[in-house]
Amino acid sequence: MPDPLKFRASLLRCARLMSDEINIILLPHQLNYSLWQVLYVIQLKQGCTSIDIAEYLNVSKPSIAKRIHTLMQLDVLEQVDTEDKRQKKLILSAKGVELFQICSKKMDVFEQQLLLPLDQNSQNCALDTLHTLMDHLQDLKSGTQP
């Protein structure tokens, strides 16, 4: 069995290297990985609240508020009213949709380059492994794991 410390260190190092490369891709667009994550969640959910984003990304609400503030200054987000007047739904503005599409294409190219050394079977196995680990972590977090 592989040394779990080596697995953890490898997984964290891989995530850091990947986020560094993503930051380089996003920098010309005044974005970084943490801002991209917010845009991604809003696009994925076709609009959501800051609480939804914080829960999805598993980060604090104040850190999401800072990211939203930055994205609002870039004019890539809009706020719309919800039934709960205390909450605003966030959606991508027209500029935000365009920026998301441009950056998504660049991220897709990066992902394709990253996966070049792996055949399709290896890619599928890696993805299955990551999904299994994420599901297990989610179970541990919610207390549903024995």
Query: What total number of domains does the chain contain?
Result: 2
Residue-level pLDDT at 1: 60
Residues 99 and 86 in one domain: yes
- What is the residue range of 128's domain? 117-146
Residue-level pLDDT at 114: 94
- pLDDT over 90 at 115, yes or no: yes
In a domain, 67, yes or no: yes
> For residue range 1-47, what is the model confidence (pLDDT) as tens digits?
666 668 889 999 999 999 999 999 999 999 999 999 999 999 999 99
DSSP result, the chain: ---HHHHHHHHHHHHHHHHHHHHHHHGGGT--HHHHHHHHHHHHHTSB-HHHHHHHHT--HHHHHHHHHHHHHTT-EEEEE-SSTT-EEEEE-HHHHHHHHHHHHHHHHHHHHHHTTS-HHHHHHHHHHHHHHHHHHHHHHHT---
In a domain, 29, yes or no: yes
The pLDDT confidence band at residue 92, using thresholds 50, 70 and 90, is very high
> For residue range 43-79, what is the model confidence (pLDDT) as tens digits?
999 999 999 999 999 999 999 999 999 999 999 999 9
